Structure formats: C-alpha cells, structure tokens
Structure 1
C-alpha cells in the first residue's frame, strides 16, 4: 500500500538531532527495522524517521493499524502520550507536549458542553457529527489541572508555569535557545517577559547575553531589601510578628551567608522572640507612662 506522510504530523514532535538520527540509522542498518510503523488508514502516524531510513536504503519494514483513532485529535493525543513516556525527551519538550494535550482536551470539553447546550435547547441536529470531523464519539474529555499536567510530564508545577510562559510569550529565537540547551527553562521564562525585539537581540548575542537579560529581569522584579543587620537587630515596636517577618529575617540571613539550615531556623526563632519581647516591653512602658 502507499503510505501517506503528512507534514503536520511529521512536524508535530520535535525532530531528532543529527547525532540521534545517525545513531538510529546505524542501528537499523545493523539490525533491521525491528519496530512496526503505526498507520491510521494509509497515514503514517509513528515511525517517520524509521520510514525515511528504510526508504533511503530500500530496507523492509512492517506496519500495524491503530483502529481506535476517530479523528486527527486522537492521533495527536496518542503521539503525545507516546513521547511523554520516552526518556530522550527534554523537560521543555515534555512541558510543551503536556500543554498541547491540555489544549486538545479543553477544546473537546468545550465542544461537549456546546453540544449538551444545543440538546438542552432543542437545536441539535441529527447530522451535527457529520459536519465536524472532530465531533463525538469519544470518551468524555477530563479537565486537566496544572498539577496533573506536571505529574504526567514528570515536572514540577513551577516548571510547567515557566514553560507555559515561554510557550505563550517567547520569540522563536528564544524558544530555539531553550530547545538546544543554550539557556535554562527558568532563565528563558524570565527573558520571555521582555519585548520580543529585546528577546531576539539577546538570543542573537548568545548565551552570556541571555543570562544577563534574565538577571536584569529578575533584579527589576526583586523588592529592595533592608540592610541585613538592620533587619536582624531592629523591629518596629508595634509591628505584627508573622510569616512575612520570618521570611524577611531568612532573606537577611541569606544575605549574610549564615550557615546550616538548623542554625538559620534557630536565629529566626530567637529574632522573632526578641521582637515579641520588645513589643511587650514597649507596652509596659506605655502603661507606666499612663499611670
């Protein structure tokens, strides 16, 4: 049968690097194409690199049909699931795939709700499904939380948040820098807050400039700190002792470079206790003055 290669599916997942492709080619030349190509009808769904190598060297290969697909969205979801489980996929790639899955399921949920509303209003038509290639039947689409996305992609919630920011705001040059490892996810998320022309300029200037751009963004967002000694040894007599005060003390200790975590916690506790005693002393002084 003639196999159809759709460019949209071929490009849906980031391509192999040159080294990865060469390694796959050596493996197939030595051992043959051991894994079957996955088809949906005559459309190639999985195995684009293997198919290209086999065609190039006129090598035999096997195919298998996936009969569960009902739409191109089903194909995309299956491809995402396959790649999320592979070790060779980078953290950034897994995050992007998880976001794509969320968007597909969100759109399905929207369509389901729209169809239910039409049925409730009595405006649904018998041939509605025929008018939309991606209409039901399919399993009800669940809502995907950020925590669920993170768990499936084996990332932290904060990493998913940063990848989503890059996905939405980053210039193509910045995205490419993340993909190739020139800049970290956290640094790229910071740079993505800049105007697009500044992102492009930083990416064009290279690794060091990207790092400096990320530092400038972070510094601009950071609140000015009081001198460390001032924080540790002075307190407003009427100040409320709360978590924010403890965090302020912790920042001051970090600035001073104070040692182990246990010691830091002890210093924080003693400083908070000292704040409380100062407040009590101030209250006693006021009482004596009023007597």
Structure 2
C-alpha cells in the first residue's frame, strides 16, 4: 500500500502536544489502531500521528477512502469540521478553524456568483452557492465562542508575534489578554512572552489602561465663591470621578467575564 504524506496537509491542523502524543502512543500500543486512517486516493487526510506511531512500532492499521472529496478545499473543509467536533480543541483553535472555513466558503460563494450564468455542473463551488452568507455571528456559533472573542482571535492572527500566538495556544495567556498585547510592537510582545505569565498580564493591563479616556477636569471655583458654591463644585467633581470609575469597573467586569468563560471552556 502506498500512502503519501503531504506536509502542508499535515500542518493544516495544530500538532498534538508532547503529552497528547505520548498518550496516543500508549493507547495504540495497548489497544492497537482501532480507527481507520482516512485517505483520498493515496493521500493521507486524517491519522498522521497514528500512521507515524504505527509505522514506528509495526502496529497493524486499516484505511478507508473518502469518495466525497473533489478538491483540496473539500479535504480542508472535512478536516476543519472533523476537528471542530472534538472536545479537546481550545476556543482559540476553534476560532482559527472557523475563520479558515469562512474563507473557503466565501471564496466558493464568490466563484459561484461569478459563474451563475453558466450551467451548474458537478463542481463543488457550484454546490456551495446555496449556502447562506457566513456572517460573523455564524462563524462565532461554529467556533462556539462569542462574536467579541472571535474578533479578538482575528486581531491576534493579524498582529500577534509568533511567540504570542504560541503563548495563547499553550494557555499561558487568555485570548482577551493576548488581543490587548497584540496591539504592542512586535519586540514588546516577544519581551512580554519571555517574561512569563506575570509580565503578559501586566502588559495587557497597561494596554487597557492606556485606552481609557482621560479624566475630565473642571474649572476651579472663582476666588469669590461662597462656601455653598465651593461645596457644590466639590460634589460635582466627585460625581464626575465616580461616573468615570463606574465605566472603568464595567469594562473590567466585561473583561473578567470573557476570561472566566475562556477558562471554563478550557477545562
């Protein structure tokens, strides 16, 4: 049997961690390879880790052909949907996968619209023309995250240094905090990651505080102000400060709510 490994396809999904790979190896050694490897012709689509372990330890395995694939985009979509259904996938990984699916579906829909006047054949892009547009809300539902979290994942993808992306994937920093740190210059992001969890949290806090509007200042009371006018001025200033503090606390509660949801999702 000839099995072809495509490195781009192997790297399309984030690799297992060392602990996950070791657990898989123990399972295969103890129970054998129970799930068939998925092929598209000679191309291995699903089961790269199992295939490597089985080759190493000479463990027998079975294969199955997926005859629904008509293009590499079909393969990518199948891989995305397959991994989105796994409980071990983090919120960040699900968001990245859902955004990849959006790009593929959107490209197919655009292609289908451009060729709408042509007779519909068996091309996969024509088959996708009936799918509804992928709005941000639809992508977020697919990833099982909020629209706000999805926006933060997009920001991380666009502006985060590779070191910061690695910190998010490893759980060293939350998506919410990483999106804030990602707005810093690349060298500052790298330095924050090198400093560890405490340094990353401090960098995220500084970014958020820098975004807060400056405290409004009132003109001082006139020199000839009466005691009543001075007291009114003091109370008005206190109301302004308390209102500003209330807005800041509301934002902190929102950030903490998002962070708590991310932490619960990762358990």
TM over 0.5: yes
Where do 5+ consecutive residues of structure 1 fail to align? 236-244, 256-291
Task: Name the CA distance, whole Å, in 2 between partners of 1:23 and 1:221.
Answer: 44
Report if the CA contact (8 A) 1:111-1:135 is conserved. Answer: no
Report if the CA contact (8 A) 2:105-2:128 is conserved. Answer: no
Task: Name the CA distance, whole Å, in 2 between partners of 1:61 and 1:28.
Answer: 10
Tell me the matched-pair count.
231
Of structures 1 and 2, the one scoring higher in RCO (CA 8 A, sep 6+) is 2
Superposition TM-score, scaled by structure 2 size = 0.78
Report if the CA contact (8 A) 1:99-1:149 is conserved. Answer: yes
Tell me if 1:191 matches 2:176: no
Given candidates 121, 126, 138, the residue that maps to 2:127 is 138
Given candidates 134, 145, 150, the residue that maps to 1:160 is 150
Task: Name the CA distance, whole Å, in 2 between partners of 1:214 and 1:163.
Answer: 15
Report if the CA contact (8 A) 1:150-1:160 is conserved. Answer: yes
Where do 5+ consecutive residues of structure 2 fail to align? 218-231, 251-267
Report if the CA contact (8 A) 2:108-2:128 is conserved. Answer: no
Task: Name the CA distance, whole Å, in 1 between partners of 2:136 and 2:10.
Answer: 27
Task: Name the CA distance, whole Å, in 2 between partners of 1:254 and 1:137.
Answer: 50
1:182, CA displacement in angstroms?
1.1
Q: Which has the larger radius of gyration?
A: 1
Q: Which residue of 2 aligns with 1:11?
A: 11
Q: Which residue of 1 aligns with 2:53?
A: 53
Q: State the superposition RMSD in angstroms.
A: 2.8
Q: Which residue of 2 aligns with 1:77?
A: 77
Tell me if 1:93 matches 2:93: yes
- The aligned runs of 1:1-291 (5 Å cut-off) are 1-116=1-116, 119=117, 136-140=125-129, 141-225=131-215, 234=236, 248=243, 251=246, 254=249
**C-alpha spacing 1:108/1:254, structure 2 compared with 1 (3 Å):** closer
**C-alpha spacing 1:219/1:94, structure 2 compared with 1 (3 Å):** same
Q: Which runs of 4+ in 1 moved over 4 A?
A: 230-233, 252-255
